[in-house]
Structures are given as structure tokens and as C-alpha cells.
Structure 1
Amino acid sequence: MAYSKPDKIMEITIENGTKKTTYSPLQTVILGFEAGAFIALGYLLCIRVTASLSINLEGLSSLIGATVFPIGLILTLLAGGELLTGNMMAVPLARMAKKVTTSMVIYNWILVTISNFLGAVFVAYFFGHIVGLTETGPYLEKTVSIAEHKLEASFHQAFISGIGCNWLVASAVWLSYGANDMTGKIAGIWFPTMAFVAIGFQHVVANMFVIPAAIFAGHFSWLQYFNNFVPVFLGNAVGGTVFIAMAYWHAYRKKNVPYQEPKIVQSIIKTLFDRFLYS
């Protein structure tokens, strides 16, 4: 399996991050919808194969679920899709390289967030609620249990969990960009994604499926979901932008290339510092 070295992967990621901002709004919405649906289908598969396992097999259940969940990210990156967590790494890296503007980063994130939500909720409502795949027997119990666990986390817990999640997911995207064949890309995507699911970190797009699925089944509220969405979104943004994009930019950029902290990164860091300092 041929692959590129990290400094070359950074160049590829910058190119991909720049390309993402050139899509028309319709292209971005379609690809974002696909990605949101793919991640939701991966989560639905995870629930369907683990819900009926005995509680005595809880550790094995987590591992089995983690092994099938990555199908969503594999489909997104290989078949085509715009996923928010991946864009939280690739597009800011293009901004650090001065290939795009801060407003282009923000616009891309907003459009992809909306379209990912539409795709994930589509799967939650039509497949989970209408077809009943998350609303019968052990599948309902599993869905509600997962959603409850995510919603009961405090702001700080959800935020830090979000960092861990996208540190791994953005790493998976990074590795997929570095592989030169489909087998290598699948391997690069699968292992980090499996790790974040098995650990239990929170992924903003995955939550767009499982929490609404529980809401459609008559549990929890949209306000509770929003209170989870905000810290997980911010944590995922920091995980992808700071711990992957910024880290590798500082490590591998050419020394003669001037660097100025993008305003979006300054804003995120200041907001988080103020939040933790005064909370």
C-alpha cells in the first residue's frame, strides 16, 4: 500500500481544503446531506448489531459496534461527501496556508453543518422512526441509552470529549489523504474511527442522528439536544483545527512561509479561555 509522508499529506490536505470552498452551494448541500446520512447509517448499523447482545458482553459489544461504525466515514471519503468534522481540519489548514479567507471557512462550516443535520435527521426519522429500526424492543432501549449518556454530560465533559473525538476523526481523514489506493484509505479511516467509537467520544454529526432518533421515539427534547450540540461542536472544532491542522502546520510548513494566526482560531481560543476561566 503506497502512501505519502506527513509533509506531503499536509500539501494534499491544503489542496482538498481549498477545493471544498470552491463547490457551489448546491454541491455542498448535496454532499453534506450524503455525509450526514452515511454517518447516521453507520450509527444505525452499530445499534442494530449490538442492541441484542447480553449485558455481560458489554465490552465486546462496544468493540463490535466500533468495528462497523466506520462504514459511514469510509463512504463519505471514498464515495463522496462533505463532513463537518473533516472540514474542521482541512478548511482551516487551507486558511493557515492563505489559500482561503476566514469568511470562506465560516461559510463552509455553516452550510456543511446544516446539510449534515438534514442527512442525519432524514435517516433518524424515516429509517429509525417510520420504519421502526430504532423504536422496537432492544433497539429502542439501546438508542435511548446512548442518547441519555450523551445528554447527561456537562458542558465541559461534552466539550473535552468532542476534542478527543475529532483528534481521531481528523487523523482518519488525514491518513486517508495520505494513502494512494482504496485499501490503504480504508485502513487509514477504519482504525482511528474505531478508536473514537470504542472510547465513547462525542461526534457532532453522529449525535445529529442518535439524539433526534430518541426524540422521535418520545424521549428528551430539542432544547436538550441543542445544549449538547454547542459544546460538542466547539470541542470537535478544537480537535480538528488545533490538534491536527495547526499542529501539523507548525510542524511541517516551510520555514520561509510567514504564518499569522487566523482570526477564526484566535476567536475560538479566546472564547474557550474565557469560558473556562469565568465558569
Structure 2
Amino acid sequence: MSSNFLAPAEIAEAAAKSGEDKANSSILKLLVLGFLAGAFIAMGFILDIRVTASLPEQWGSLKSLIGGAVFPIGLMFVIIAGGELLTGNMMTVPLALHKKRVKISGLIYNWVFVLIGNFLGSIFMAGLGIWSQVLSADPYKSATIALATSKATLAFGPTIASAIGCNWLVCLAVWMALGSKDIISKIFAIWFPVMAFVAIGFQHVVANMFIIPAAIWLGADISWGQAIVEWCGAFIGNAIGGWLFVGVAYYLTYLRGRSKAGATDVSEEQSTGATL
């Protein structure tokens, strides 16, 4: 009996195949889809700011929950409409690497050009948000500066730790979306993990490539040197979270020792509780 979702072992195969395809994509494709993904994540962040900036401070963490509830639209666009997001590729391409479907040079190639595309899309939306006056007046301006300052002034070690938690959740969202066969299922698979990382306040390198430049252009007391250090910490942590805690964990569980075809007895996986 067919279902509308894949078993975890099937998701692992789909993720490795996706990583292989990504590592073999053209530079133009990576840059264009990378630009779109950076812009999409920034759109989600702008929506978060516009929805929460005017909420009363007395609401406390409820503001973070509301912002987290609207932010996932960015990853929905990436997964469903199409995009190349560095943080998701920190899980899929390493899976293909461990399956020996790509070389380390293919991983570096993908990450470099997707990172460039994501950065261009992010700063484009930062400029557009200010030029359109969506972010240039209070309370949105103050909220943007406060958010960016909290990220740029976080110590390097805690930034890495926070970014690990972020991409653990983001890659689980990507993982579950890969296992979903219809759009509604993909939306819910994406929504809750991304909402969690935003509500918690974890560090996402691509989102931060939008918020920090936007704040600098709005007059925040943040230097570009601080921005680069923050992005480096977020990059390292995101790579660990996606590669180690999702990619390696599920490679060891579902893919290690399997053939390239990776045939899976789904009924056996489900009957033994391996999908839980």
C-alpha cells in the first residue's frame, strides 16, 4: 500500500541523489538558484520583522513564536519553487560525498558558488527593503538594528554553537520535505523545524547575510569586520549541524555499506520501527 511519504532510508537515498545533482550543476544554475534562495530567505526575515516589530514588549517570547511562524515562507519557496540554499546543501552534498558519488572538489564547487549566489540575493533584498522604505522607518528600522546587533556581537564560540542547532533543524526540515510527496506535506515538514530555529534564536548564515548588511545600511554600530566574523562562525556551525548531525548520522544509519542503487525494504524498515 503506497503512502504519501518516504521511509527514512528512502529519504537518505533521495538526499544523496540530490547532493550528486547539485555538485554537478552548472555555475550559472548555482548562481541563479543561489540568488533566488538568498532572496527568499530574506523575504521570510522581512516578513518576520514587519509582523513582530510593532508588537508590545510585554508579549515576550510570544513575539519570537509569531515571527517564527511566518519566517518559514522563505524555505518553502526554496524547496517548492526552486532554489539552492547553502545550509541545505551542507547536508545533501556531504551525503553524496560519503556515498562516493561526488568528490570533495564537487562539494567545494557547490558550496562556493551557492554561497556567492545566496550572498548576492541576501544583500539585494537588504537594499530593496531599505529602498522601498519597508525597513527604513520605525519600528522596523529599530527592530532590524537590534536583531543584527545581537547577532554581530555574540561571541564566536556561542555563534558556532547556535549555528549548529540552527542547521540541525533546517536540514531536518529539508530532510522531511524530501520525504513528502505532496505540497501540503512539504509545507508542514518545513514549517515546524524552521519555526523552532527562529523562535529559539539560532544563527543561520544566509539569514544573517541579509539582516546584518541591512542594519549597517540603516546606521547600526556594526562594522563589516564584525559581520564577516559572525558569518564565519555561523558558516562553521551550520556546516557542523547539517553535515555531522544530519548527513553523517543518517549516512551511518541508512546508507553505509549499501550499493549505489540503495534498494530498501521499506516494509521491513517500518515493521521494525526504524522509521521512528
TM-score (norm 2): 0.91
Structure 2 contact 13–255 (Cα < 8 Å) conserved: no
Take 2:154 and 2:27, find their aligned partners in 1: how far apart are those partners? 34
**Cα distance in 2 for residues equivalent to 1:28 and 1:214:** 27
Structure 2 partner of 1:274: none
Q: Quote how far apart the aligned CAs of 1:257 are.
A: 5.9
Task: Please show how residues 78-227 of structure 1 align to structure 2 within 5 Å.
Answer: 78-127=80-129, 129-219=130-220, 220-227=222-229
246-255 or 233-242: which moved more? Answer: 246-255
Consecutive unaligned residues in structure 2, runs of 5 or more: 261-276
Counterpart residue identity of residue 210, structure 2: F
Which residue is 1:40 aligned to? 42
- In 2, Cα distance between the equivalents of 1:256 and 1:208? 38
Structure-1-length-normalised TM-score? 0.90
1 CA distance for matches of 2:236 and 2:139? Answer: 32
1:218-247 Cα offsets, whole Å, 9 max, x none, are 211211100101111000000000000000
1:141 partner letter: S
Letter in 1 for 2:229: N
Q: How many residues of Structure 1 are paired with residues of Structure 2 in the alignment?
A: 257
- The amino acid of 1:85's aligned partner reads T
Q: Which residue of 1 aligns with 2:251?
A: 249
CA distance in 1, matches of 2:218, 2:160: 26
Matches within 5 A, 1:25-64: 25-64=27-66
2:231 to 229, 239, 242: 229
Q: Give the AA of the match of 1:221.
A: S
Structure 2 letter corresponding to 1:23? S
- The residue that corresponds to 1:264 in the other structure is none
How far apart are the structure 1 equivalents of 2:196 and 2:56?
Answer: 22
The CA distance in 1 between the partners of 2:231 and 2:257, in whole Å, is 38
Aligned-residue CA RMSD (Å): 1.2
Q: 1:84: how far off? A: 0.3
What runs of 5+ residues in structure 1 fail to find an aligned partner? Answer: 259-279
